[in-house]
Amino acid sequence: MHLPHDEATAYHEAGHAVVALILGRPVDEVSVLAHRDFMGVCKFGKARTRPSEDWQEREMLIALGGIAAEARHTGNYAWDAAGRDQQYVRGLAIERAGERRAERLQRRLLAKVERLLAHEPHWRAVVLVAQELLRRSVVSGRAVRHFFEQSQSSAC
C-alpha cells in the first residue's frame, strides 16, 4: 500500500511529538514543510530532566517514535527515509550499551515505543496531530499539547 509521502511524514513527525509529550519533553513546533535535508521536523523545548531520569533512553524513544508511528500507519518501516533518526539512535545506543549490544538495545526500545503508541489515547493523539499537519503543514507546540490532552481525556 503506497500512501502520499506527506501523509507518511505527517504520521512520522506526529509520532516524535506525541512520544516526547508522553515522556515529558516539551514540543515547540511540528512541521511537514520539506527542507533541503528533512521531509519534516519536530522541534523540542528544553527538557526538564530529573537526576534519576534516563535522558538517553528518553531521547532514543522520541527518535524512534517517528518511524514507529509511520510504520503503524503505513505498514512499512521506511528506515532509509528515517536515516538521521536511525543514526542518532545508533550513536546513543553504542554510547549506552557498546557496539556489540547496541542493536539489541535499539530493538528493545523500538518495541517499547510501539507499545506506547499502541495505547489507544496515545495513538489517537498521533492521528489528531497528523491530520492537523496535513491541513496546516505546521502545528504549534501548544496545539500539539491540546490534541494530546484532548485524546487523553476522551479515554475516560
CATH number of the domain bearing residue 76:
1.20.58.760
> Three-class SS of residue 14?
helix
Q: How many domains does the chain have?
A: 1
Distance between CA atoms of residues 13 and 41, nearest Å: 6
pLDDT digits (tens, 9 = 90+) for 4-41: 558 999 999 999 999 999 999 999 999 887 766 667 77
Torsion of CA 130, 131, 133, 139, to 10 degrees: -90
Q: What are φ and ψ of residue 27, in 5° steps? A: -115, 130
Angle, alpha carbons 28-32-34 (nearest 5°):
115
Q: For residue 95, what pLDDT band results from cuts at 50, 70 and 90?
A: very high
Show the domain range for 146. Answer: 5-153
Report the predicted TM-score, pTM, of the whole model to 2 decimal places: 0.89
Question: What are the angstrom distances between the C-alpha of 129 and each of 12, 52, 118, 136, 139?
Answer: 10, 30, 16, 10, 8
